[in-house]
């Protein structure tokens, strides 16, 4: 198939692009480089030994996007492009609604124009908000607690109406839990700008000495050791979920929703321990106050996606830490 990947030079998009190329698909990446580097394009080509096209373009530029669609004529779109910093979304919500919701609407216009009817969308577990029960299943109430999460939910709603408006339209919404790890080559991985907000990249940078120490946000949660618990998923497993979902898209009527997580959680202290074991480094940390907006525990019921496309995670926390450390060693040199 011909697949257009938005945000394909970013963390999850780049790993997914590799899997689609390796599975024999023809891809085209559209990315405005707002949170990625052109080097990633070269790395994907060198890892896959395959040439493919890249367009540096903002999704909000509808006219130019239509022109890209008209010449590539994709069979399907995988839509990763979006802004994802929760704190920034609270400070500048309009930027998030404009880019994430506006960019998605522009994308749908270009799809309509070129007769493309299939889309996979990167949503997030953050659409559920504070858990009413656990594990989160796809029926859980949707009540995001920040503008980033709202922008994901709004896009889901737009896609729902779009999917139902024509018999040929099909949308798969993938709600990711906490993607971590890196490609086994160590040549692509998560490369956050500035000081990382997320746990795993922060731990990596403490391990390599780029950062002094980790602050553990909250040690009085109702978990095994009092620290926050999350469902970490290897980015390679998450990427493979896209491949299998798209292979099975014709099984759905118009739109369907799937959690992508492993179904089990690890606490912050368990992550630190696992990372120390894989890296052989001491991770210096202090216990600090809870971070605003954090929930105590979040993990997925991943039964629905398993049943839909026979997807199961292959990598455990050890592999996530090992691949993350391999990538950190290559980037921090």
Residues that bind ligand UFG (CB under 6 A): 84, 86, 124-126, 176-178, 197-199, 202, 214-218, 228, 230, 268, 291, 294
Residue numbers 130-189 binding ligand NAD by CB under 6 A: 176, 178-179
Residue numbers 14-73 binding ligand NAD by CB under 6 A: 30-36, 58-60
Write down the catalytic residue from 128, 148, 221, 232: 148
Q: Taking the complex as a whole, how short is the minimal distance between the CB of residue 241 and ligand UFG, in angstroms?
A: 14
**For ligand UFG, which is the closer residue by CB, 96 or 315?**
96
Residue numbers 179-218 binding ligand NAD by CB under 6 A: 179
Is 148 in the active site? yes
Partner whose footprint covers residue 9, from ligand UFG, ligand NAD, none (CB < 5 to 8 Å by kind): ligand NAD
Residue numbers 75-114 binding ligand NAD by CB under 6 A: 80-84, 99, 103
For position 262 contacting ligand NAD by CB under 6 A, the verdict is no
Closest CB to ligand NAD: residue number: 10
For position 324 contacting ligand NAD by CB under 6 A, the verdict is no
> SS3 letters for the chain?
CEEEEECCCCHHHHHHHHHHHHCCCEEEEEECCCCCCCHHHHHHHHHHCCCCEEEECCCCCHHHHHHHHHHHCCCEEEECCCCCCHHHHHHCHHHHHHHHHHHHHHHHHHHHHHCCCEEEEEEEHHHHCCCCCCCECCCCCCCCCCHHHHHHHHHHHHHHHHHHHCCCCEEEEEEECEEECCCCCCCCCCCCCCCCCCHHHHHHHHHCCCCCCEEEECCCCCCCCCCCEECEEEHHHHHHHHHHHHHCHHHCCCEEEEEECCCCCEEHHHHHHHHHHHHCCCCCEEEECCCCCCCCEECECCHHHHHHHCCCCCCCHHHHHHHHHHHHHHHCC
Partner whose footprint covers residue 154, from ligand NAD, ligand UFG, none (CB < 5 to 8 Å by kind): none
For position 122 contacting ligand NAD by CB under 6 A, the verdict is yes
Partner whose footprint covers residue 202, from ligand NAD, ligand UFG, none (CB < 5 to 8 Å by kind): ligand UFG
- Chain residues in the site for ligand NAD (CB under 6 A): 6-7, 9-13, 30-36, 58-60, 80-84, 99, 103, 122, 124, 176, 178-179
Give me the active site residues, please.
148
């Amino acid at each position: 198939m011909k697949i257009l990947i938005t945000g394909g030079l970013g963390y999850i998009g780049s790993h997914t692009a590799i899997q689609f190329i390796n599975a024999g698909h023809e891809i085209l990446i559209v990315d405005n480089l707002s949170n990625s580097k052109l080097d990633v394009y070269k790395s994907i080509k060198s890892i896959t030994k395959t040439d493919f096209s890249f367009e540096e373009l903002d999704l909000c530029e509808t006219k130019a996007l239509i022109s890209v669609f008209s010449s590539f004529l994709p069979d399907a779109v995988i839509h990763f492009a979006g802004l994802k910093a929760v704190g920034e979304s609270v400070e500048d919500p309009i930027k998030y609604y404009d880019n994430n919701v506006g960019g998605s609407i522009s994308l749908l216009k270009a799809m309509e124009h070129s007769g493309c009817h299939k889309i996979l969308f990167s949503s997030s577990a953050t659409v559920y908000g504070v858990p009413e029960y656990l594990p989160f299943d796809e029926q859980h109430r949707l009540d995001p607690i920040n503008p980033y999460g709202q922008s994901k939910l709004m896009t889901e709603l737009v896609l729902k109406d779009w999917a139902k408006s024509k018999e040929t339209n099909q949308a798969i919404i993938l709600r990711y839990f906490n993607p971590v790890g890196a490609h086994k080559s160590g040549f692509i991985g998560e490369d956050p700008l500035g000081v990382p907000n997320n746990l795993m990249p922060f731990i990596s940078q403490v391990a390599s000495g780029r950062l002094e120490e980790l602050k553990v946000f909250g040690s009085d949660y109702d978990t095994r050791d009092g620290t926050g618990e999350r469902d970490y998923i290897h980015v390679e497993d998450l990427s493979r979920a896209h491949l299998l979902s798209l292979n099975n898209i014709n099984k759905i009527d118009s739109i369907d929703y799937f959690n992508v997580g492993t179904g089990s959680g690890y606490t912050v202290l368990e992550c630190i321990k696992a990372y120390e074991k894989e890296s052989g480094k001491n991770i210096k940390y202090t216990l600090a106050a809870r971070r605003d907006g954090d929930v105590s525990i979040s993990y997925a019921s991943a039964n629905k996606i398993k049943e839909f496309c026979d997807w199961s995670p292959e990598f455990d926390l050890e592999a996530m830490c090992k691949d993350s450390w391999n990538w950190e060693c290559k980037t921090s040199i």
